[in-house]
Amino acid sequence: MSAALCIAAAFFVLIIARWVYNWRNPICKGVLPPGSMGWPLLGETLKFFSPSTTFDVHPFVKERMKRHGPIFRTSLVGRPIIVSTDSDLNYYIFQQEGQLFQSWYPDTFTEIFGRQNVGSLHGFMYKYLKNMVLNLFGPEALKKMLPDVEQAATRKLKRWSSQKSVDMKEATASLIFDLTTKKLISHDPEKSSENLRENFVAFIQGLISFPVDIPGTAYHKCLQGRKKAMKMLKSMLEERRAKPRAHQSDFFDYVLQELGRKDTILTEPIALDLMFVLLFASFETTSLALTLAVKLLAEHPVALKELTEEHEAIVRKRENPDSALTWSEYKSMTFTFQIINETVRLANIVPGIFRKALQDVNFKGYTIPAGWGVMVCPPAVHLNPSRYRDPLEFNPWRWEGFELNGATRNFMAFGGGMRFCVGTEFTKVQMAVFLHCLVTKYMWQGIKGGDILRTPGLQFPNGYHVQLSEKFKPTEKPTTYVKR
């Protein structure tokens, strides 16, 4: 009996050893990029999610770039992945969308965003949804939206200036979320009995966390936040369907119109997942970028001075200084767009853009096996010293003379290829208009917080608290008090 147990144990150890060997040495018809697959199943996930407190490329990527070069292999959340910090390969991946590669995200992301979210759809269905979104975020729609963005920013800044301190991350997220939900679903947080944004906050806290769905973990709270938000959206959709409006006034009306067509390919689950992704993407990423811009401007007075002069010049040229911003004024904000480009370059809010190889792909002597995930790493491109001089420095003047209308080999803050973010112009409108209202009417100073954390996405763990104070108009004089 003991001999049989020994044989069984030896056989079990042999199976485990063989499994570990195969995990660490994947089969490939060509030459795999160098790297390590880490522990079976777990891979190198823990190191990938380890926190970092610098603008620089995350240590997980930076260490492997030094050890293996710009293209290396790893394993994250149970999936083999090729990481690309090579600008040529990144560009090739984006250009070969639908041919050699397709959009893909790990199963954990799919669980969070929905199995039929726009990032997981391909071909005609993706193009169909993209055209739907362009109805909301296209240039003509944004021209009409410009006054609403300015009014919302003006109203919020006025309120914040009466407070001793305001957390810019929390405040700008609230501003953008309220504006976006109004345009998407006519949601008014002051009249609603349920707090929709509260569910998204829970969702965000666990979005980039270790994927363990156990009560108490950030990932579990994230999934619960999604469930609650989706329940609210479904309830709103059913209520709107029961009481249809005479005229189309928001994106929900447009979605209902599409769902009601006999020849539609849109389904209710896809529509709700689309709404969920739009709500998340429109406010979380923009509020992070805006908070960082305000922080960087406070730390770089020369840049703040030039930005202020640009916006004050816009006001001076008007017949009526109090008139609303025009589209031509927005398009004239040259230095503002340099500020935005430099902010999103340093922010690297999206630490990785995922694709999947549809067949074996050969590039620069390496083979990316069919079925493997590929992670394009924007931070490694944006912080490459051979492309950007002193890459960790905030230098908006480096963008002088550049006009970016899409992604390039060396700039992919808004994605690339056919999946270049359709909300890019919406983000720029919100940032530019907010900065216009801020620098023409207010001064500010940091009070506390402002520390950054990457896990690997950007966070402000302590917020960024500032004190706002109104500027005096040139015709006004500050009140003086004489001692008696």
Q: Is residue 354 within 8 Å of 374, Cβ to Cβ?
A: yes
Tens place of pLDDT per residue across the chain (484 aa): 577 777 777 766 777 666 566 667 788 888 999 999 988 878 898 899 888 998 999 999 999 999 999 999 999 888 899 999 999 999 999 999 889 998 887 766 766 666 665 555 556 666 777 777 777 778 888 998 999 999 999 999 999 999 999 999 999 998 998 888 888 888 776 665 466 777 666 666 566 566 677 887 777 877 887 888 888 888 888 888 887 776 767 788 888 888 888 888 888 888 888 888 888 777 778 999 999 999 999 999 999 999 999 999 999 999 888 899 999 999 999 999 999 999 999 999 888 889 999 999 999 999 999 999 999 999 999 999 999 999 999 999 999 987 766 668 889 888 877 777 777 888 999 999 999 999 999 999 999 999 998 888 888 989 999 999 998 664 444 444 333 3
Q: Which amino acid appears at position 243 of this protein? A: K
Q: Is position 238 within any domain?
A: yes
Axis crossing angle, helix 251-260 with helix 168-185, rounded to the nearest 10:
40
State the alpha helices, DSSP H only, in 243-322: 251-260, 268-299, 301-316
Q: Is position 47 within any domain?
A: yes
Q: Which amino acid appears at position 194 of this protein? A: E
pLDDT score of 154: 96
Q: Is position 308 within any domain?
A: yes
Dihedral, 427, 140, 137, 397 alpha carbons, nearest 10: -20
- Return the bridge partners of 43, or none: 39
Q: Is position 11 within any domain?
A: yes
Residue reference for tokens 């305001």: 166
pLDDT score of 193: 46
> Residues forming the annotated binding site?
421
Q: Is residue 113 within 8 Å of 80, Cβ to Cβ?
A: no
pLDDT score of 135: 77
Say how many domains are in the chain.
1
Residue reference for tokens 């017949």: 319
DSSP classification of residue 39:
B
Six-digit token pair at 478? 């500050």
pLDDT score of 203: 64
pLDDT tens digits for range 282-298? 777 899 999 999 999 99
The dihedrals phi and psi of 353, each to the nearest 5 degrees, come to -115, 120
Q: How many CA atoms lie within 13 A of 271 on its CB side?
A: 22
Q: Is residue 219 within 8 Å of 206, Cβ to Cβ?
A: yes
Residue reference for tokens 């530019």: 432
Separation of alpha carbons 425 and 139, rounded Å: 8
Radius of gyration over every alpha carbon of the chain, rounded to an integer in angstroms: 25
Residue reference for tokens 């100073």: 445
pLDDT tens digits for range 216-235? 777 787 788 788 888 888 88
CA-nearest of 379, 377, 381, 375 to 355 is 375
> Residues forming the annotated binding site for heme?
421
Q: Is position 484 within any domain?
A: no
pLDDT score of 341: 95
Six-digit token pair at 29? 């018809």
Range of the domain at 118: 1-470
Q: Is position 475 within any domain?
A: no
Q: Is position 483 within any domain?
A: no
Q: Is position 478 within any domain?
A: no
pLDDT score of 195: 67
The CATH number linked to 353 is 1.10.630.10
Six-digit token pair at 130? 């993209």
Separation of alpha carbons 301 and 394, rounded Å: 12
Coil, strand or helix at 424? helix
pLDDT score of 355: 92
Separation of alpha carbons 101 and 371, rounded Å: 9
Coil, strand or helix at 462? coil
